[in-house]
Amino acid sequence: MAHANLLTPPSRIPPQTALQLSQKAPLVLSSAPTSSLPWPLSLLFSRETPETWAIHENLLLAALRTGDDAAARQILDRLTTRFGAGNERMIALKGLYDEALAKDDKELEKVFNDYEKVLKEDPTNVSVRKRRIAVLKSLGRTADAITALTVLVENSPTDAEAWAELSELYASSGAWGQAIFCLEEVLLVMPNAWSAHAQVATLHYLSSSTSVPALTLALRHFARAVELNDSYLRGYYGLKLVSQKLLPLLSESSGSKRNAEEDDVAPPKPQSVKKLEEIATAKLGEIVRQCSATKQGQSGYSQAEIEAARELLNRDGRTER
């Protein structure tokens, strides 16, 4: 469930929640967290807390996401005053601001060149290196972005964010094997990340929706996702979808000769798959009913997710109102 909480980074939250966050800008900007008195008197009257600058940074991201450039500029100036323009994090945030305001590829190229200059002076600035990759993606230079991310994960093999980004780029190119490998690296770093399990499952499913080994692996990861988060709608959706695809294939392959790939991935028993499908169906029905009785936008699920779940249930005659 996404709450309008400025201590939560807004990059992965719904647009409506990002808008709610950005609307808090006037309140946050109405008072200065630091005192204008000279040091050390300023320490006595400062309202600065450990959360103060996390709130400012997340408000900056929300403002940029919702197009409130004026508020974003004010927040950026306040952060720059506090930490200095040469601060590694501030260089990246200033670049992010410039990216958001870029009107065309020419202006994005200018931002890219600024990043190149920073990295020439300080190759260890990981934040700027990641922003450089983001610009490459925006410019449509996917191959260059993959190369840059490959270098990044070679030097920082525990960077789960970079591995996930690399997986996304490989998937966009249809390179399913590489995409799956990258997300498996994410799970080595974050084994309990249910969304990563669901994404690995999705990639297995997309790689071959008629392959018993691929669907078996997808089933395992979707099952693990909902085990880690028992209210994860997308996990239950995937679990039901994959179960329905896998059951007839298991019946067809029973007694037939198995190939080398199938020997590496033992298929589940049909009764186990059927049980998982029933569990997913029951949970999806429960979620849809609860959301139907809740005011729109307050359930924690997007309307698109609810509609997709309802449609999947309707396919086998389980209509949920």
The predicted-structure confidence for 268-319, as pLDDT tens digits, reads as follows 999 999 999 999 999 999 999 988 877 665 567 888 899 999 999 998 765 4
The pTM of the full predicted model, rounded to 2 decimals, is: 0.81
Which is nearest to 283 in space by CA: 218, 226, 199, 220? 226
Rounded CA separation 57/52 (Å): 9
The residue type found at 222 is F
Rounded CA separation 181/163 (Å): 9
Secondary structure of residue 256 in the 3-state scheme: coil
Higher pLDDT, 5 or 75: 75
Residue listed under structure tokens 């009785």: 293
- pLDDT of amino acid 36: 55
Tell me 85's DSSP state: T
Contact status, residue 230 vs residue 224, Cβ threshold 8 Å: no
Contact status, residue 135 vs residue 111, Cβ threshold 8 Å: yes
Measure CA 147 to chain center: 21
- pLDDT of amino acid 210: 82
Residue 3 in tokens = 């709450």
Rounded CA separation 313/102 (Å): 44
Contact status, residue 249 vs residue 210, Cβ threshold 8 Å: yes
Rounded CA separation 214/245 (Å): 11
**What are the helix (H) ranges across 122-256?**
126-138, 142-155, 160-172, 176-189, 194-207, 212-228, 233-253
Rounded CA separation 313/320 (Å): 7
Q: How confident is the model at residue 21 (pLDDT cuts 50, 70, 90)?
A: confident
- CB neighbours of residue 116 within 10 Å: 11
- pLDDT of amino acid 59: 87
Checking if the pLDDT of 152 tops 50, the result is yes
- pLDDT of amino acid 102: 94
Contact status, residue 55 vs residue 28, Cβ threshold 8 Å: yes
Residue 126 in tokens = 């990981």
Checking if the pLDDT of 99 tops 50, the result is yes
Average pLDDT value for residue range 195-204: 96
- pLDDT of amino acid 46: 60
